[in-house]
Amino acid sequence: MAKKADIGGKRLIGLAPTPWVKWVTQQPDVVAEEILGSEFQWVSRENDVLVKVKSPTHGQFLVLNELQLRYNSNLPSRMRAYAALAQEKYALPVYPVLVNILPPPANVTIVDRFESDFLGIRAYQDYRVINLWEVEAAIVFEQSLNALLPFVPVLKQGRDVSTVQQALTLLRQDEQLVELESLLAFFASFVLDSEVVRQIMRWDMAVLQESPWYQEILKEGERIGEQRGRQEGRQEGRQEGRQEGRQEGRQEGR
């Protein structure tokens, strides 16, 4: 029986947890000790990853990672709930991090805190926001952030073929990483011609189906297809218009 592919957040961060927590917390002395279960009583999501870490400066604490394909307005309340549940369950301070993979629509504002005020009772929760499209692709290679290799094409300065091929080479060199190639291919399709993607990478939908972002991936694929279809339709329309204009001009000239 074929081994089930795992390309969820826990698998990605688990590839190199210490470089990851150093990066998201911006604390160079932090070391990952254990990836904990984030399955609380009534919430369980594959893209929430809870890591217990230790630091000579801050002692033991939890890094709560939420990986989202796109930001949505429900995330502030979810970050607040998860941080509280994690702190209650493990009795450790929590550092919450929201990682957004793709930019939201232009009319959506990404916020970095939860706030509410009801009948004079206030609730407040800060969390760190990392938008991958603002992250330099070079950091992935310099800091060994293997969890970000599949996302290189959508990082800042990551859309050129040579950078994508560098990420692909690293994935193929490690048996633990090779099944992430399909995820890399998907994100490469956002910035490279689809024929180029097919030439340099394998695209296995069976692997993508194991991703917690699969349904969102399908929607993104449909959106890209619709955009390209409209662009191709406009190009064909302009070409046909020019051809008809030239033909009519020649006929009138006779």
Which pLDDT tens digit goes with each residue over 33-88? 999 865 554 444 556 889 999 999 999 999 999 988 889 899 999 999 999 999 99
Domains observed in the chain: 1-134 (3.40.1350), 136-212 (no CATH)
What's the pTM value of the predicted model, to 2 decimals? 0.75
Which pLDDT tens digit goes with each residue over 179-199? 788 788 888 888 888 778 877
Lowest mean pLDDT among 6-15, 32-41, 91-100, 217-226: 217-226
Residue 172: per-residue pLDDT: 87
Closest by Cα among 106, 107, 85, 104 to 96:
85
